[in-house]
Amino acid sequence: MTTFADLGLPAPVVSVLTDRGITTPFPIQTASLPDSLAGRDVLGRGRTGSGKTLAFALPVVTRLATSGARAAAAGQPRRVAGRPRALILAPTRELANQIDESVAPLAQALGLKTTTIFGGVAQSRQVTALNAGVDIVIACPGRLEDLLGQRHLTLDDVEITVLDEADHMADLGFLPGVKRILDKTGSRTQRLLFSATLDNGVDVLVKRYLHQPVTHSVDDAAAPPPQMTHHILAVADKEAKKNVVQQLAQGTGRRVLFTRTKHQAKKLAKQLTAAGVPAVDLHGNLGQGARERNLAAFSSGAVKVLVATDIAARGIHVDDVELVVHVDPPAEHKAYLHRSGRTARAGSGGDVVTIMLPEERGDVRDLTRKARITARPQDVAPGDATVTRLVGEVAPYVEYVPPAPPQQQGRQGASKQGGGRSRSGRQGGPSQNGVGQNGGRQGQSRAQGGSQGAGQRGVARPASGSGGQGDHADGGPRRRRRRGGRGRGAGNPNASATS
């Protein structure tokens, strides 16, 4: 059996992987690493959860460490302010943060620094990190273009560029910005592109920017992972649907419930919490600080239910999600597959449930046919054995009262108790699991006793924040707050994560 050491990775990197319980490469890693470590351009295709993040993170840190050592031996500085040596582009803020969580420990083991760049937060921390010098920038296209325009960085020294979830960037309309960014990198530098599909213009990126790429495709991107079990539960009306959804949320394991709109996600999370099932929401109407607090509460296990729009359908990885519920069936089959991919990851199993009203029967039939799902609809009512079986062990009732919002202290937002002064979230409070506690108009620490934010004392703290960006918008130049991110969110706690 091939190991990471067999693939030629440095011993400190192998040690970090081992400490995290990662000992055996996934197929996409085994297939692509020999080529990417050798400096070739790689086109990697594989469905969500197939291990693509490490497939590009490992060659990035390994090759930068090697080139940095050569530079040091020649008497050249390894790190120059505003001149990163690797660029990783991602479509959403959440994915950028999660990539950094994977890359930063590997980079640190080799003496490298990372930072994240995305919108929805004040740019001051990002600029500070760039001025201090970083090796790897993990960025969303919009804010990156903004900082490039302000000349806070240049891409002239970039040796390796990675495009992650390229098809999702195409779906969101980011390809023009991606092209402008890639045009600022050297034409013969190494480029790695990972995507589930090559439609919607991704093939144009491949032809224009990858030089004789080696293609590695480990599975059919259109097919659902075999560990998933799909169920279609047909309910009689909206009241029955509401009761079935509430019952499905009551299990002890993690579960993600997808709704069609931001309003529905917020409303359902509140309804579940009021019913004794603590839940947090994730959608585009939340400020960045609120998004991070809610995702941290779910990731830590402080709450077991995440109610989300399609903002969480791509790139959000939380271990051991046992159930995905399509409260509202998505509009098209790719969204179905990506939503469903939040469970059955990394070899684990999981169940996927679609709730279907009578008027949705035709749409669901077309959706599952295109997604190659063979599940047959089952007529259910609340309390039926089928529903009870999917719930599994029921979590105990939790009487939960959300905390009062933080006290407003004018535009300065001075914090007296949890993390120093904060002007529009530039300096946040303490963090948990690497996720910042303060954001936007919640830039102040919580008043009573300096509460620690989401997930403390074993209960969730659903957070709400300001903002009106779309679910996937990364806060590009057109939407940047010109007053330092006022009302938007805290500075990114993962910036210069390896400092």
User: pLDDT above 70 covers what percent of the chain?
Assistant: 74
DSSP letter, residue 223: S
**Distance separating alpha carbons of residues 241 and 163, to the nearest angstrom:** 40
- Across residues 151-159, what is the average pLDDT? 97
Supply the Cα-derived Rg of the chain in whole angstroms. 22
Residue 389 DSSP SS3: helix
* pLDDT score, position 396: 81
Q: Considering the chain, what is the average pLDDT of its residues?
A: 79
Query: Which residues partner with 232 through β-bridges?
Result: 354, 377
In whole angstroms, how far apart are CA 403 and each of 287, 410, 418, 454, 464? 17, 20, 16, 10, 11
Confidence check: pLDDT of 421 > 80: no
**Distance separating alpha carbons of residues 95 and 375, to the nearest angstrom:** 30
Positive or negative torsion for Cα 104, 107, 108, 112: negative
**Distance separating alpha carbons of residues 38 and 363, to the nearest angstrom:** 47
Nearest to 342 by CA among 353, 331, 355, 357: 353
**Distance separating alpha carbons of residues 92 and 282, to the nearest angstrom:** 13
Cβ–Cβ < 8 Å for 180, 187: no
Positive or negative torsion for Cα 185, 190, 194, 197: positive
**Distance separating alpha carbons of residues 466 and 488, to the nearest angstrom:** 6
Least confident of 39-48, 53-62, 242-251: 39-48
* pLDDT score, position 315: 55
DSSP letter, residue 86: E
**Distance separating alpha carbons of residues 78 and 463, to the nearest angstrom:** 41
Burial of 300 (0-12, 13-18, 19+ CB in 10 A): middle
Backbone angles phi, psi at 152, to 5 degrees: -80, -15
Cβ–Cβ < 8 Å for 477, 145: yes
Query: Which residues partner with 193 through β-bridges?
Result: 43, 163
Domains of the chain: 11-217 (3.40.50.300), 228-391 (3.40.50.300)
pLDDT tens for each residue of 218-229: 654 444 445 778
Banded pLDDT at 50 (limits 50, 70, 90): low
Residue 381 DSSP SS3: coil
Whether the predicted model's global pTM rises above the 0.75 cut: no
Cβ–Cβ < 8 Å for 85, 185: no
**Distance separating alpha carbons of residues 499 and 497, to the nearest angstrom:** 6
CA end-to-end distance (rounded Å), the chain: 36
315, HSE (Cβ side, Cα atoms, 13 Å): 27
Residue 456 DSSP SS3: helix
pLDDT tens for each residue of 285-308: 888 788 888 888 888 888 899 999
* pLDDT score, position 113: 97
Query: Which residues partner with 191 through β-bridges?
Result: 161
